[in-house]
Chains A and B, each alone.
Chain A
Amino acid sequence: MTKRGLIQGELGGLLERGLSRRAFLAFCGAMTALLALPPRYVPRVAAAVSGAPKIPLIWLRGSGCGGDGEALLRTTGPGAVSLLLESLSVDYLEILMASAGEAASDLRAATIAAAPNGYLAVIEGAISNADDGYRHTVGGRPFRDVAREVSAGASGVIAVGSCAFDGGLAAAGGGSIGAGGVGEVVAGRPFISLPGCPVNAANLAATIVHFLTFGELPPADGRGRPLFAYGSLIHNQCERRPHFEFGEFVEDWGDEGAQKGWCLYKMGCKGPEAYANCPTVRYDEGASWPIGSGQVCIACTMPGFWDSMGPAFRRLPPLAPFLPWLTADVAGQVIVGGTAGLAVAHGTASIVRAGVRRRRAARARLAEEAPETAPVAPPVAEPEAPPVVAPTEPAPEGTPVEFEPETAELEPPAEPELEAPEPVPPPDSEDA
């Protein structure tokens, strides 16, 4: 194909793809499948998505990297542009909108005041609380006030990305803006969280499609994460799982195992503790996902993952059995019920969360007392809330063959490494 020929076909094609009905229907089909709805829902989804009147959308950018809006622009199918421009009225989106300054703020206010059927609010980034919220201002006001105002009138609020979920990076150890999740500013409105760093745009699109089709946000777990996307453990869906069962691991970057696509567990993969649909939906219309590209999962959909799941390349201690039916909610209930082993093994337990809160509070105190000289606590696991302890029950049948030898590296639950640069070699007594 000549260069000229390529560009002729290409530019026309690019334009057409953004506009065509066929691409739009394909998008609706993909969304229906992602939401685990039967194919007969496709016409209903298509009708709802292309229906009038358009629902206004206000997209706010909190204290984050802006990567979630970028994810939407980069990675959803051609239908994303249709969804944005044809199905929704994108009234406020700082990265694209024509107006600026007060005119932009006025548009936002007008949408809040005027929308007869309500509007959808999507918020990325964390809520900044330090200095009364003045570490993040928009139009001369704290961002959190704007977020509160926009949330209050919304018929649905979607928090996208890990920072909007629970503060994310800004809330990690050493953070100083008193970062919290968007949930802090949403009171009494339908609310859902789509953690991930960045959010998988397919999940965001599906959530919006669900909202347009059924007039409500999809069912969610106790932390507000929709079950269609965050209901299953990554490890249980992973394409490399058979290698885990057969004890075939990547031992060094680029080694034989890496070339053969073996399990990344020993390199620090957090797939066994993270809930998300990355292995099945993947990114960019199924092009790839981190483990598919040879890198470990960093559990970016989990609460406080930079600290609770980090360091990224520290290998997980052996876990409780992987139970396919276990959801983040069940794990949470179990820990409340006192069966610590199961729940903490999944890192979602409220006790961990509480530990993170305590730690943050302690840091905030430290920071207030001695802002300049306070040493930053190393971002390691919390003594009073160890992320992982040994299973309390004997492993059931089907326990991976590689499990037994692994226990040699089980870490003492009560003393996670604090200052040591690397995990302390575990005492032998920890053998199960």
Chain B
Amino acid sequence: MPRMVIDPVTRVGGQLRLEAQVEAGAVRDAWLSGTMYRGVERILVGRDPREAWLLAQRICGTCGTAHALASVRAVEGALGIRVPRNARLLRNLVAGTQLVANHVAAFFQRQLLDWVDVAAAVRADPAGAVDFARSLGVAELPGVDAFEAVRKRLEASVESGGGPFSGGPWGHPAYRLSPAADLVLLSHAFAALEWRRRFTSIQTLIGGKTPHPQSFLVGGMATAPGWGGPSDVAPGQHLWGTGRKVPSALGTARLDAIRALVDEAAVFAEEVFLPDAIAVASAHPEWAAVGRGRRHFLAFGDLPEDDAERPALLLPRGRVMDGDVSRLVEVDQSGVGESVDHAWYEPTEEPLRRPRDRGSAPRYDGPRGRFTTLEGAERYSWVKAPRYEDDPIEVGPLARVLVATAAGEGDVPLRFQRAMALTGGPADAAFGTLGRLVAPAVEAVVVARAMRGWLDDLEANLADGDLAVADVSLWDPASWPAAAEGWSIGESGRGAVGHWLAIHGGRIERYTVVDAGTWNASPRDNRGRRGAIEEALVGTPVEDPERPIEILRVVHAFDPCLTCGVH
């Protein structure tokens, strides 16, 4: 039987192709292919390490912040630089913004249409929508008129025969929610679009623009408070420039604006995002069993809570193996290796190439001319296959939440447990698609709340007279050792990100990136074992091979990013 092909898989980061063997109404085997290569690691070679983050940031337009941070931290690690407290807090705020915004987009923009029937929402009774909204605990929220306005808007879009909703698998029997619920969730999706647009301006306020905020720096941050403390207009004006007041990069007005956005984020995550995620999950209890993988989870951990050399992390580091959340397994950067046996690269000597080894050059030997399948191709993706100590492993919000549970740290475990209980799924529901739906919402709540704490700390610190934002003692390359190596392991919204680099003579000699997309969307490895998503797809029911909505549910729940994954 020929493979089923989905290319492009839409609503993911980057270019993803999926091939699946479907037999007797279920996926028997699956192959994921990243079909766009750019070669950023090789472009970084030979450059000034201080600007590496600018290029590394462009690995991804959504998760770029994580790559920028990984890059500056790797250089700082190589040179032995510790950043000031203010810089850590500013970085956490920028990274926290990326993480929360990513989760909201992943749910409302990238996943929702797999669970919500737009055609049904058009038929919904707006009064029923109000009732459903109330049942979510979001009392008296927007009135009948608002839901009717959204309904009309959807109706106009569907009737136009074009637009983003056209060609969707509407009416598919897998759609389970009531029309009223569909309408409420789609209304929230519109609101989320608008909310997220405002929320991400935190990155603009701190970094000048978004995506790709620009105020990172090897040694700290470029964003500086006013002379003598936070002020709204930088002092030192000249008559010549009257009327062109220079806004202070870290003035009180900006800090207040950020505070308002952060507070709003905590409420949005807690009162809209989380209830919505639970509502979707609880309507599909059988999905607890779909999308299970090997149940190996890895988190590099991120968001340092203090300035120690080995700081406590809001998102802890570690592994959970075989779904055993009672045991936290250690993680170290040296455990990472990548196989290119099934990816379009020059073969490497070792079965698993370590990030500190020399990189391998691209070598495309796939089909030429329009192709319908990659069946029979030994190599079938631009994504490499990273493994941790030889194990294929899953990363992402679910992995982080489970690792936090194993670590018993913070209030994530309890919140996640409570949320999963509300879905009504079985005790081990967390390991499948339902867990991947709920975990990001829980994490968004926790991180949005933490952002408020970082902002308070930042303001208190500035008020105490600590205005340092960067350690510039090693800015001059003349002060560097002739050769140095560094790495950084951390998290993007989508999962574990590692950057490894070597510096020689003031230039980058080698650069390796292993990203969340690389872990999750990896092809088979040196031992022929599937990547995390490939593995999770096995066994997924497919009711209508023409409209494989179930496959998309499993894939989208991982929120894969192929732009990151291939880089």
Give A residues with C-beta under 8 Å from B. Answer: 3-4, 6-8, 10-12, 14-19, 54, 56, 61, 63-71, 73-76, 78, 80-81, 85, 89-91, 93-107, 111, 128, 131-132, 134-141, 143, 168-170, 172-177, 179, 197-198, 200, 239-243, 245-246, 248, 252-254, 256, 258-262, 283-285, 287-296, 298, 306, 310-314, 371-372, 376-379, 419, 421-422
Complex CA distance for A378 and B211, rounded to whole angstroms: 27
B368-389, CB under 8 A of A: which get 1 and which 0?
1011100000000010000000
- The answer to the question of B463 belonging to the interface, with a C-beta cut-off of 8 Å to chain A, is no
Measured CB to CB, the closest approach of chain A to B94, in angstroms, equals 11
* CB-based contact B48/A311 at 8 Å: yes
Instruction: For the complex formed, measure the closest distance between the CB of A147 and the CB atoms of chain B, giving whole angstroms.
Output: 13
Chain A contacts for B268, CB-based, 8 A: 7, 10-11
Report whether A176 and B362 are in contact in the complex, using a CB–CB cutoff of 8 Å.
yes
Q: Measured between alpha carbons, how far is A253 from B211 in the docked complex, in Å?
A: 23
23 pairs across A/B with beta carbons < 8 Å?
A7-B267, A11-B142, A14-B192, A15-B187, A15-B191, A73-B193, A81-B193, A90-B164, A106-B167, A135-B36, A176-B361, A239-B247, A241-B244, A245-B238, A259-B225, A260-B227, A260-B234, A284-B209, A288-B209, A310-B48, A311-B47, A314-B48, A422-B476
With A91-B163, A254-B469 as known contacts, state yes or no: A170 contacts B39, CB within 8 Å: yes
CA distance A256 to B208 in the complex (A): 20
A242 to B372, CA, bound (A): 61
A74-B197 contact, Cβ under 8 Å, with A107-B167, A252-B472, A293-B207 = yes
A290 touches B11 (CB 8 A): no
Stretch at the interface among B54-62, B300-308, B412-420: B54-62
In the complex the two chains form, is B470's CB within 8 Å of A74's CB? no
In the complex the two chains form, is A65's CB within 8 Å of B478's CB?
A: no
A95 — which chain B residues lie within 8 A by C-beta? 10-11, 13, 109-110
Q: Please state if B166 and A261 are interface contacts (CB–CB under 8 Å).
A: no
**Complex Cα distance A140/B19, Å?**
12
B212, A261: Cβ atoms closer than 8 Å: no
Q: Shortest Cβ distance from B467 into chain A, in angstroms?
A: 7
In the complex, besides A94-B10, A170-B43, 7 extra interface pairs with C-beta distance below 8 angstroms are: A102-B5, A140-B7, A173-B43, A241-B241, A259-B225, A287-B204, A294-B249
The verdict on A78 contacting B236 (CB below 8 Å), with A67-B212, A254-B472 known, is: no
Residues facing A in B293-335 (CB within 8 A) are none
Given contacts A66-B14, A239-B246, contact A294 B61 (CB under 8 A): no
Q: Does B464 contact A (CB under 8 A)?
A: no
Q: Which residues of A contact B205 (CB under 8 A)?
A: 284, 287-288, 293
Shortest CB-to-CB span from B441 to chain A, Å, is 15
B245 beta carbon closer than 8 Å to chain A: yes
Which of A19, A66, A284 has the largest count of B CB atoms less than 10 A from its CB?
A66
Question: Whose C-beta in chain A lies nearest to the C-beta of B551?
Answer: A100
Task: Determine if A197 and B364 form an interchain contact, defined as CB atoms under 8 angstroms apart.
Answer: no
If the complex has contacts A101-B5, A298-B214, are A254 and B195 also in contact, measured as CB distance less than 8 A? no
Contact check, A312 vs B51: say whether CB atoms are below 8 A apart: yes
* Among B118, B247, B254, B467, contact of A259 (Cβ-Cβ < 8 Å): B467
Chain A residues positioned under 8 Å from B246 (CB to CB): 239-240, 243, 260-261
B150 within 8 A of A: yes
Q: Determine if A134 and B222 form an interchain contact, defined as CB atoms under 8 angstroms apart.
A: no
**Of B133-141, B283-291, B391-399, B425-433, the one with at least 4 CB within 8 A of chain A:** B133-141
- Report the minimum CB–CB distance from A120 to chain B (whole Å): 12
Residues of B close to A143: CB separation below 8 A: 15, 36
CA distance A282 to B413 in the complex (A): 41
The 3 closest A-B pairs by CB, nearest first: A421-B506, A67-B61, A261-B234
Chain B positions 210 through 254: 1 when the CB is less than 8 Å from some CB of chain A, otherwise 0: 111111010110111111100000111110110011111110001
User: In the bound complex, how far is the Cα of B35 from the Cα of A343, in angstroms?
Assistant: 40
Which A residue sits closest to B363, measured CB to CB?
A: A371
A105 CA / B28 CA spacing, docked (Å): 26
**Which of B38, B64, B167, B206 has the largest number of chain A CB atoms within 10 A?**
B38
* Known contacts A7-B267, A94-B11: A261-B249 contact under CB 8 Å: yes
Interface presence of B88 (CB below 8 A): no
- Tell me if B174 is interfacial: C-beta within 8 Å of chain A: no
Contact A81 to B245, CB < 8 A, known contacts A103-B167, A291-B208: no
B61 touches A89 (CB 8 A): no
Contact B13 A66 (CB under 8 A): yes
Complex-state Cα separation, A293 to B237, whole angstroms: 17
Inter-chain contact A245/B240, CB cutoff 8 Å: yes
Name the residue on A nearest B154 (C-beta).
Answer: A85
Q: Looking at the complex, which one of A94, A134, A174 makes contact with B8 (CB distance below 8 Å)? A: A94
Q: B215–A259 contact, CB under 8 A? A: no
Contact of B44 with A by CB under 8 A: yes
- The 8 Å CB contact of B150, one of A15, A54, A64, A128, is A15
| Nearest CB in chain A to that of B87: its residue | A254
The 8 Å CB contact of A99, one of B140, B166, B222, is B166
B10 touches A97 (CB 8 A): yes
- B168 beta carbon closer than 8 Å to chain A: yes
Question: Given contacts A11-B138, A141-B370, are A254 and B224 in contact (CB under 8 A)?
Answer: yes
User: In the assembly, what is the distance between CA of A139 and CA of B366, in Å?
Assistant: 14
Shortest C-beta distance, B15 to chain A (Å), equals 6
Q: Are A169 and B55 in contact (CB under 8 A)?
A: yes
Instruction: For chain B, residues 248 to 275, give those with C-beta under 8 angstroms from any C-beta of chain A.
Output: 248-250, 254, 257, 263-264, 267-268, 271-272
B173 within 8 A of A: no
Given contacts A8-B141, A90-B164, A246-B240, contact A288 B505 (CB under 8 A): no
B244 proximity list for chain A (CB < 8 A): 239, 241-242
Interchain CB contact (< 8 A) of A253 among B13, B15, B469, B478: B469
B64 A67 Cβ-Cβ under 8 A: yes
Q: How far is the CA of A296 from the CA of B48 in the complex (A)?
A: 15
Question: Nearest chain-A residue to B116 (Cβ)?
Answer: A98
Q: How far is the CA of A132 from the CA of B223 in the complex (A)?
A: 44
B45 within 8 A of A: yes
Q: Are A107 and B37 in contact (CB under 8 A)?
A: no
A53-B210 Cα distance, complex, nearest whole Å: 33
Q: Which residues of A contact B204 (CB under 8 A)?
A: 75, 283-284, 287-288, 293
User: Which of B35, B58, B219 has its CB near the most chain A CB atoms (within 10 A)?
Assistant: B58
With A and B bound together, what is the CA distance between A118 and B388 in angstroms?
Answer: 51
Shortest B49–chain A CB gap in Å is 10
Q: How far is the CA of A131 from the CA of B36 in the complex (A)?
A: 12
Q: Given A11-B272, A140-B7, is A292 in contact with B162 using a C-beta cutoff of 8 Å?
A: no
Please tell me if B9 contacts chain A, counting CB pairs below 8 Å. yes
Residues of B within 8 A of A105 (CB): 8
Contact residue among A68, A76, A261, A290 (Cβ-Cβ distance under 8 Å from B208): A290
Q: For window 93-124 of chain B, which residues contact chain A by CB distance below 8 Å?
A: 101, 105, 109-110, 113, 118
The reply to whether A259 and B197 contact each other, CB–CB distance below 8 Å, is: no
Measured in the bound complex, the distance between the Cα atoms of B257 and A285 in whole Å is 14
Contact indicator B364/A134 (Cβ below 8 Å):
yes
Q: How far is the CB of B221 from chain A (nearest CB, A)?
A: 8
Contact status of A242 and B470, CB under 8 A, knowing A98-B166, A104-B167: no
Q: Is there an interface contact between A295 and B214, defined as CB atoms closer than 8 Å? A: yes
Of the candidates B58, B60, B165, the one whose C-beta lies within 8 Å of that of A197 is B58
Q: Which residue of chain A lies nearest to B242 when distances are taken between CB atoms in the complex?
A: A242
Q: Which residue of B lies closest to A70 (CB)?
A: B61
* Contact pick for A295, options B14, B222, B371, B477, CB 8 Å: B222
Of the candidates B169, B201, B367, the one having the most CB atoms from chain A within 10 angstroms of its own CB is B201
Which residues from chain A contact B224 at a C-beta distance below 8 Å?
Answer: 253-254, 258-259, 294
CB nearest neighbor in B for A311? B48
Q: Say if the beta carbon of B542 comes within 8 Å of chain A.
A: no
**In chain B between 150 and 172, which residues have their CB closer than 8 angstroms to a CB of chain A?**
150, 153, 157, 160, 162-169
In contact, B477 and A422 (Cβ under 8 angstroms): yes
Q: Compute how far the CA of A68 lies from the CA of B211 in the bound complex, rounded to whole angstroms.
A: 8
- The CB with the most chain A CB atoms within 10 A, among B164, B201, B362, is that of B164
Residues of chain A contacted by B472 (CB below 8 angstroms): 252-254
How far, in angstroms, from A378 to B49 measured CA to CA in the complex?
12
Contact of B368 among A4, A18, A134 (CB under 8 A): A134
